[in-house]
Amino acid sequence: MSEALSPNASVATPLRLPAFPIGGRAGTSFKHEHLRAILAEGGQRGFFEVHAENYMGAGGPPHRALEAVRRDYPVSLHGVCMSIGGRQPLDQAHLARFRNLVHRYEPALVSEHLAWSTHETTYFNDLLPLPYTEATLGRVCDHIDEVQEAIHCPLLLENPSTYVLFRESTMSETEFIRRVAQRTGCRLLLDINNVFVSATNHGFSALDYLSDFPLSSIGEIHLAGHAEQADDEGDPLLIDSHDCPVADAVWRLFENVIGRAGPIPTLIEWDSKIPEWPILRAEAAAAQEILDRYRTATLPGDCDAAA
């Protein structure tokens, strides 16, 4: 493919990778079709996030591509199927694969979802919701403890987009997440599009959710596009589709959060109907512009005051 991808670069020797700072940077999802354009541009400010599961094969082009990107950029490792919110024990083989990737690529950020995707032996390939109760809180905390012990670094837990509520829930999502962070010491990945999607779907205020969210625990922000459908009553039902630009309302919420919390590393997610690299890069540049605007206005330590 590209001459920059030297064959077998890392087959035998463990990588010692540069520890690029990720603070205050905007990044994008890494898609293989963009690799040539990214390498041709050379080292820019920014970072790339990958879905961990796509790099759990033994070898081949996926690892070569990620190695090439990792040489020049900080990487965020984003797991999508650990099933942390599941009722059954974590899949030990999967946890070992995840740990091995953290060891191999030394990512600047490591994250997973407040969701589940496996029940008994079936893997559903979606981020499924859970009730927020004392019982599920305990189980989620146990699972996060287990992951953090395996990877030897803090995990960022991402708030979900949801389309249903559980009758049995006894606490709000923000209370649940705050208590998980307090009990496990995990950090949080605030997906602002997810907040907007869930707020619309369940009729609460996204600003209220954000003012209730423990800002001081946020280690990363996600921004993405969504699609609109209708619920049974004909009201808007937003779908977390990751297939279009970030909505204006989500940009406004983002600026609100950055204004209070300071320039937190921010990722543009785009996983379907993937555009040409310049379009994705421009979305990241728009986020970077907002981050830079608040770089001098807020010192990093100030973010505690907003929580």
Partner 1 sequence: MPLLEVASHSYAPAFAAALLRPDREPPSIVMGPRGKAAAKRYNVYRNNVMVSLIDALAAIYPGVQRVTGVDFFRAMARFHIRATPPTSPLLFDYGRDLPAFIERYEYARSMPWLADTARMERAWLDAYHAADAEPLSAASLAAVPSCQLAELVFTAHPATRIVRSRFSALTIFVANRSNDPVGSINAASPEDALITRPDYDVVVRHLPPGGAVFLTHLISGRPLGEAAASTLEISPAFDVAAGIAGLIQAGAFTAVTFGEP
Task: Map the footprint of partner 1 across residues 129-168, applying CB under 8 A.
Answer: 129-131, 133-136, 163-168
87 binds partner 1 (CB under 8 A): yes
> In the bound complex, what is the minimum distance in angstroms from residue 57's beta carbon to partner 1?
3
Among 110, 128, 261, 264, binds partner 1 (CB under 8 A): 128
Of 196, 190, 197, the C-alpha closest to 220 is 190
Q: Which stretch binds partner 1 (CB under 8 A): 23-31, 196-204, 256-264, 282-290?
A: 196-204
The nearest distance, CB 271 to partner 1, in angstroms, is 10
Rounded Cα–Cα distance for residues 275 and 270 (Å)? 8
Paired tokens of 248: 């204006």
Those residues whose C-beta lies under 8 Å from the C-beta of residue 65, and which sit 6 or more positions away, are: 5, 30, 32, 35
Residue whose CB is less far from partner 1, 208 or 302: 208
Q: Should residue 233 be labelled a site residue for partner 1 when binding is judged by CB under 8 A? A: yes
229 binds partner 1 (CB under 8 A): yes
DSSP 3-state assignment of 222?
A: strand
Residue 232 interacts with partner 1 (CB under 8 A): yes or no: yes
Cα–Cα distance for residue pair 153/275, rounded to 1 Å: 33
Binding window for partner 1 (CB under 8 A); candidates: 50-58, 215-223, 261-269, 291-299: 50-58
For partner 1, the binding residue among 149, 175, 228, 231 (CB under 8 A) is 231
Stretch that binds partner 1, among 22-30, 52-60, 181-189, 289-297 (CB under 8 A): 52-60
Contact 148/141 with Cβ under 8 angstroms? no
Distance (Å, whole) CA 80 – CA 61: 21
Nearest approach in angstroms of CB 85 to partner 1 is 9
C-alpha to C-alpha distances, 58 to 110, 180, 186, 196, 255, nearest whole angstrom = 20, 34, 29, 38, 41
**Dist. CA 194–CA 190, nearest whole Å:** 8
**CA–CA separation, 84 and 157 (whole Å):** 9
Helix (H) or strand (E) holding 250: helix 248-261
The residue (of 207 and 285) whose beta carbon lies closer to partner 1 is 207
Sole binder of partner 1 in the list 16, 19, 42, 122 (CB under 8 A): 122
Residues that bind partner 1 (CB under 8 A): 1, 5, 7-8, 11, 53-54, 56-64, 81, 83, 86-88, 91, 94, 116-126, 128-131, 133-136, 163-168, 170, 201-204, 229-233, 235, 237, 239
